[in-house]
Structure 1
Amino acid sequence: MRNALLLLSSLLLPGLAHAQAEALENPGTVSAVQERQYRMNHELTLGVGVLPADAFYKGVLGSVGYTYHFSDSFAWQVGRGSYSYNLKTSLREQLERDFDVAPTNAAFEEQVQWMVGSDLVWSPIYGKMAISNRSVVHFTGFLLGGATVMKLSRSDGFRPAVNLGVGVRVFTSRNVSFRLDVTNNTVFVGGTRLIQVPTFQLSTAFNFGATE
């Protein structure tokens, strides 16, 4: 009996010792979330964009805005303003030329001249990616929503709107980043009639007072 116990111990002890050593070397799976390398604080944006959707004109936008960032995830775009330089489409030119449609036709006059507004911004996504294993790009994805006042080209053309959109920001340094905003303003024209004004804007953002 004693010999049997000794034999069993000699077989089990090496295996137990090996298992303990592996447990010490690999105590378990550990996941770590890396801190953001770039943080925003006071943001000034200068951008250009387009109003692509209307069949009778296309707008070229020049924009400026200021955003205050409360944290990595939440910000308030305190103010934004855009001016639209509008160009006739070939469809409008054809209607005016071939069918004598007056340039003062109501369908032609609901053009955005400028807009101002304010939004709340939520940035739930932050990440980085390697490009050709030579450089690392840091980026964020965000959602925004707020209110807009638009000046349409008609004489009584001040109109309220609800603005919703998505965007992405790419950092180049602590102080400079580039952001792409894709938004849509639902404009209350009168009564129950609504028009949709989508925008695409690319902006350079200058960041002040943030840490890296």
Structure 2
Amino acid sequence: MDLPRHTYTFLALLLAPLAALGQAQEPPGLDLSQPQPESARPADEAARARKSEPVVPLAAGESDVALGDRVKAVQRKGFMKAHRLELGLAFPATVNDAFYEKVGFGGKLAYNFEDSFALALRGAYYTQLRSNHVREAKAAFSSQLLQSELNGQLMLDGIWSPVYGKVAWLGSSIVHFDVYLLAGFGGVWSATSSAPRKEGPHIATDFGGGIRFYPKSWLAIDGGLIATLYPDQPVTQAPSTVQKVVAAQLGVSIFWPFTFEYVYP
């Protein structure tokens, strides 16, 4: 069917804008000039894009909060003594007497009010061993040794543990330890405390320190050095003097309850 010429002209003018609009627009998803959302990109491509993005620093304080959720600034202790009883044995030997060496054995009953402080009742019985220096001094100088003969002691001590740590033992296990200081007062029995003079116990004070190792949750092994001071008058012809006994000792203790539960502050 032949249409008038002006009809063809009208249709050409009508379709020209539609053709131009279709050429200007591209099918959806083919515009590569804009970045695609991560949901539309493959997983490996999205991961590479995240790695290449710059890291935005956190504001002040935010990093501390983030790390605090994962890392504890102070690790918990591996051995706790708070609110536990301690029963121990000790084997002391004097180190400051050239004439009469004193060796003995003793015991300790302590209660730990805190992990770093305990109150202990400590006692010991001593046996004196005469050295060759006694015979030599008496034979050469006909002298009388003004030395107190210590028989035993009973002391009430406060024990403070300011240092705590751990060491590797034989490269395969960790042993916890602490360093302690002690001081207190009590009574000492010497040769003048019994017959014939019967003066009774002498008031005394002591101080010292040492180190304790905890191989088990209920066991402690310690070594220390303790000095005991007390007044005594070994012979009546001489005035009373302050006697000084320094003893090194090894000990072992058992804690009750045998186990402990760590409570975060």
Same fold (TM over 0.5): yes
Q: Secondary structure at the match of 1:20?
A: coil
Shifted more, 188-197 versus 157-166: the winner is 188-197
Q: 1:195 aligns with which of 237, 243, 251?
A: 243
For 1:51 and 1:33, the matched residues in 2 are separated by 41
For 1:35 and 1:147, the matched residues in 2 are separated by 34
Q: Secondary structure at the match of 1:38?
A: coil
Q: Secondary structure at the match of 1:172?
A: strand
Matched, 1:80 2:122: yes
Structure 2 residue aligned with 1:123: 161
Structure 1 residue aligned with 2:4: none
CA gap 1:35/1:192 in 2 versus in 1, 3 angstroms:
farther
Matched, 1:32 2:81: no
Matched, 1:153 2:191: yes
Unaligned runs of 5+ in 2: 1-52, 234-238
Q: TM-score of the superposition, structure 2-length normalised?
A: 0.64
Deviation sequence 1:5-38 (CA, Å, 0-9, x none): xxxxxxxxxxxx63525889x9258762222221
Structure 2 residue aligned with 1:208: 256
Structure 2 residue aligned with 1:90: 132
Q: Secondary structure at the match of 2:210?
A: strand
- Letter of the structure 2 residue corresponding to residue 118 of structure 1: L
The count of corresponding residues between Structure 1 and Structure 2 is 190
For 1:86 and 1:192, the matched residues in 2 are separated by 21
What CA RMSD, in Å, does the superposition of the two structures yield over aligned residues?
2.6
For 1:51 and 1:112, the matched residues in 2 are separated by 11
Q: Secondary structure at the match of 1:211?
A: coil
- Letter of the structure 2 residue corresponding to residue 70 of structure 1: F
Higher relative contact order (CA 8 A, sep 6+): 1
- Identity fraction in percent: 25
Deviation sequence 1:75-105 (CA, Å, 0-9, x none): 100x11101111012211212344444xxx4
For 1:18 and 1:159, the matched residues in 2 are separated by 78
Deviation sequence 1:103-161 (CA, Å, 0-9, x none): xx4614x1111111110111111111223532211001111110031111123362111
Which one has the largest radius of gyration? 2
For 2:103 and 2:210, the matched residues in 1 are separated by 19
